[in-house]
Chain A
């Protein structure tokens, strides 16, 4: 298998993780117009919860599930008790509170689990699958990532397209005042949105940890890439976030592979600038349609 093929495969696998975080950012941005910077810290914290359970002998899948539930509850609590208070104020307040949550959670993780880099036990092999004589760039763990992300996306699509609850959440995001006039409890929908984003973040954290290792800031870089992916996608389109994540994953993998991994971060910003210059509303935004 050629280098190019491998770089693309690795990029897609990383990109799926960026996509999950990007979709969580979009989920919250759509309903509250707030960029949730605490997404990264919540993901990291949930992963730590899982790893300390695994250390105590809890099976991997159960720990994964508990981490997701932890992310769900933590997301809901952050919305209900912190973000709700700044909701009616200027958007900057909400962003600053989100950054505050990010710093607090990272500091707390350092206090509880130590700030040193630690290995995350991967349930699957990270070594590439062998086909014939050559090794592919993708490992069983990458296949696990793909399956988990597909299940997550399927669940979200089902929720938003085919359930009453999803319809109420969409209405609350698009037109909160109208939704309230129709008897939708918009406040609860917001809490649920943050809870889902917290759960999605936990999934991303669990999937990213074997590769980026686990330390209190381990998801910061992922957040930056996912944020870029979300902006590329238009910030209010889940499909855009998914595609943006994959674009980021592949581009960064190619940049890292051919030009050196030092250039990954500047590369991310370069992509962001180029996309915003060509299409300022992002690739998939419906905002221009909505202003008609």
Chain B
């Protein structure tokens, strides 16, 4: 019977889930010196889905994203995208595998212009029609167009966030890792960016991993959610299910 069980397991992995699951994270651990920030995180991110990562301050949300994008080295566990492992790779190689990380605080290059920032997003791509991609991003975020020749530090907070997200989309990533995109933004601006991401997920199969402090708003846009506490996954479920679980919400999410 054991033989059949294993067969079933692998059948599921390769033929059923393999198509849906884009990012698979297993037992991922990371630490800052002696402090363990991630303790064996296991989760997955589906194509065309927005997956929210929730939890209190210091739960390991940002560390999870930084470990996935290679800025923090994993000390244990594995991570793969489309079946290709990347847990030991450098950030630049991980980016080239189709993972775009928009760091907290809108990591735009302040001294460079909006146009240059966007071009940077796809700068490593060879034989790439950067012009049409640029136009596409300017269509997604119309406020950026009149400012294209301005240095990024002249932009407002909302415009910077649009620039950071637009730049991350330039390279046609498979997965987008967003760290606190709503921080310091007007709710309307955040809502605009979120509905746009939802559309990209539906149309292009983009997978979004969304880290949010504001659990309520994150759950309203996400399909799936993972709740972290002290570097461990405590719940991983449909966003709607977590929203309805009052005890869980009180305990881990504070609302």
Contacts and interface: CB of A to CB of B under 8 A. Distances in A.
Partners in one complex: yes
B92 A185 contact: yes
A177 B120 contact: no
A290 B153 contact: yes
A211 interface: no
B116 A174 contact: no
Given A182-B121, A184-B92, A174 B153 contact: no
A18 B228 CA distance: 56
A181 interface: yes
B103 A180 contact: no
A164 B95 contact: no
B107 A177 contact: yes
Interface in B82-100: 90-93, 95-96, 100
Interface stretch (A50-58, A61-69, A165-173, A238-246): A165-173
Nearest to A161: B116
Given A177-B71, A289-B153, A290-B153, A182 B120 contact: yes
Contacts, number: 71
A209 interface: no
B69 interface: yes
A182 B173 CA distance: 11
A82 interface: no
A182 B108 CA distance: 11
B153 A292 contact: yes
Interface in A235-292: 286, 289-290, 292
Interface residues of B, number: 27
Given A167-B123, A184-B124, A290 B91 contact: no
Contact of A178 (B108, B119, B124, B153): B108
A177 B111 contact: no
B116 A181 contact: no
Contacts of A286: 111
A175 B107 contact: yes
A181 B90 contact: no
> Which interface residue of A181, A186, A292 has the most chain B CB atoms within 10 A?
A181
Nearest to B69: A181
Contacts of A290: 110-111, 153
B198 interface: no
Interface in B113-140: 116, 119-121, 123-124
Interface of B: 69-71, 90-93, 95-96, 100-101, 103, 107-112, 116, 119-121, 123-124, 153, 167, 171
CB-CB nearest 8 A-B residue pairs = A183-B95, A183-B124, A180-B91, A178-B107, A175-B109, A183-B96, A181-B101, A174-B111
